Amino acid sequence: MNDLLPQDAHLWELFENTAQSVVQAYGFQQIRTPIVEETRLFARAIGAVTDIVEKEMYSFTDSMNGDQLTLRPEGTAGVVRSVIEHNLVYEGPKRLWYKGQMFRHERPQRGRYRQFHQFGCEAVGFTGPDVDAEMIMMCRRLWDDLGLDKIRLELNSIGDASERAAHRVELIKYFEAHADQLDAEAQRRLHSNPLRILDTKNPAMQELVTNAPKLLDYLGEASLAHFNGVQKILNHNNIPFKINPRLVRGLDYYNRTVFEWVTDELGAQGTVCAGGRYDPLIETFGGKPTPAVGFAMGIERLVELMKTAGEPAPGNQCDVYLVHQGEAAQLQAFVLGERLRDAGLDVVMHCAAPTGAGSFKSQMKKADGSGASFAVIIGEDEVANHTANVKAMRDEAGESQQSTVPFDGVVDFIVDHITDGGEEHHHFHVHDENCKH
């Protein structure tokens, strides 16, 4: 479980803000569900014979009343519970998104943590392949907006329950005929969840699983039509993908469309986003039959990928750094700071230590380190003359340009110079963006 430190925070914010505005552009609305749910919710929703439920859940007994509780290992189960509990699809289908911490007791390694974060979407109440394609295109747009071009799409259909049952019989026969090549985990899975054997990461079993009976060959007409429908929309919109017949999901409740976005840039943990349809789940939970499709992306892995793609310059801590000397100047600086913030600027005010604010020189060093575009300096003279000294910190010529500005004109002066362009005014623009949404 990791701390998120300030030096990485701007990447997380960039990811989360971009993801949020992309999915909002497709009509998705946020949902927040509790981090703790009843254990049986996950056991049922995810399926008993899965890595997560078998060995990865943080479960505990509530010492106050004996309730069996679990820290959520994924987001879909909670969203589905909430959709049913609040009858969210009463008025029709809903497009939902969430983000937050997930917990899985796994062996920690690169790209795999015990507390991690997912950003996910669930489209609930949609039957057709159009929403599947829409979700995939939405991911594509997010990668584009983040400047991530080394992510590829793998697609498959795992059909419906009856098709999987027919395939399963043949799959078990096949693996039984090659029992000597199965590792311990595969042997354990052989009769409980043989489909998951196809997902093995054991290099020694790759040839065996490549030649195994393919679920795609067992799809009936309706499943095939759905799968073709997804592909048609993707092709029409020039979204490249590879059909991976061995792609299955770790969770039991998926049917038909499954997809993963994968990168080679992150080593073994290369799946940055995984999704698929789970039409049967909501009915299983006592809701009205409600088809649904969703995906979840791992934020840690995507932030890692953003770093390999060339870290954008960290956002300035502020637009303006306020330097002051003496009690009267400090009071003026407070007034000015509020006015600048009223105008949408980010302002850091120099903190007076118990012994005073320190020399101008040491304050200017702090101003420089803050990354501010402007330092505003107020000393005794400025207080007496009702002025302030405004210094452009990121002057192109490298020269320090200093102007004495009437106190009441400082905000306009800075806003004019910042919107004139020519310099990097990262912060101000970020503000603009936020206003737009």
| Binding-site residue positions for L-histidine | 74-76, 104, 118, 122, 249, 253-254
In whole angstroms, the minimum distance from the beta carbon of 168 to ligand ATP comes to: 20
Instruction: For residues 342 and 195, give the distance between their C-alpha atoms in angstroms, rounded to a whole number.
Output: 59
68-107 positions binding ligand ATP, by CB under 6 A = 74, 104, 106
112 contacts ligand ATP (rule: CB under 6 A): yes
Binding residues: 74-76, 104, 118, 122, 249, 253-254
Q: Which stretch binds ligand ATP (CB under 6 A): 64-72, 141-149, 290-298, 409-417?
A: 290-298
Query: Which of 104, 427 has the CB closer to ligand ATP?
Result: 104
In whole angstroms, the minimum distance from the beta carbon of 120 to ligand ATP comes to: 8
113 Cβ contact list (under 8 Å, min separation 6)? 1, 2, 106, 300
Q: Could you say which of 93, 250, 326, 358 contacts ligand ATP (CB under 6 A)?
A: 250
Q: How many CA atoms lie within 13 A of 138 on its CB side?
A: 30
Instruction: For residues 245 and 174, give the distance between their C-alpha atoms in angstroms, rounded to a whole number.
Output: 16
Q: Could you say which of 24, 271, 284, 317 contacts ligand ATP (CB under 6 A)?
A: 271
Query: Which of 297, 336 has the CB closer to ligand ATP?
Result: 297
Cβ atoms 314, 366 nearer than 8 A: no
Instruction: For residues 370 and 391, give the distance between their C-alpha atoms in angstroms, rounded to a whole number.
Output: 14
269 contacts ligand ATP (rule: CB under 6 A): yes
Torsion of CA 297, 299, 300, 303, to 10 degrees: 120
Query: In 3D, which of 322, 340, 350, 333 has the Cα closest to residue 415?
Result: 340
- C-alpha distance across the termini of the chain, in Å: 32
Query: In 3D, which of 290, 252, 255, 262 has the Cα closest to residue 79?
Result: 290
In whole angstroms, the minimum distance from the beta carbon of 144 to ligand ATP comes to: 19
| Residue whose token pair is 């998705």 | 28
In whole angstroms, the minimum distance from the beta carbon of 300 to ligand ATP comes to: 5
Query: Which of 271, 284 has the CB closer to ligand ATP?
Result: 271
Q: Could you say which of 248, 272, 345, 364 contacts ligand ATP (CB under 6 A)?
A: 272
Query: Which of 111, 125 has the CB closer to ligand ATP?
Result: 111
The footprint of ligand ATP on this chain (CB under 6 A) covers a number of residues equal to 19
Instruction: For residues 379 and 168, give the distance between their C-alpha atoms in angstroms, rounded to a whole number.
Output: 80
Instruction: For residues 377 and 342, give the distance between their C-alpha atoms in angstroms, rounded to a whole number.
Output: 19
The region, left, alpha or beta by phi > 0 then psi within -120 to 50, assigned to residue 66 is: left
Query: Which of 115, 404 has the CB closer to ligand ATP?
Result: 115
116 contacts ligand ATP (rule: CB under 6 A): yes
Closest residue to ligand ATP in the complex (CB): 298
Query: Which of 75, 280 has the CB closer to ligand ATP?
Result: 75
Cβ atoms 267, 111 nearer than 8 A: yes
319 contacts ligand ATP (rule: CB under 6 A): no
Q: Which residues bind ligand ATP (CB under 6 A)?
A: 74, 104, 106, 111-113, 116, 118, 250, 269, 271-274, 296-298, 300-301
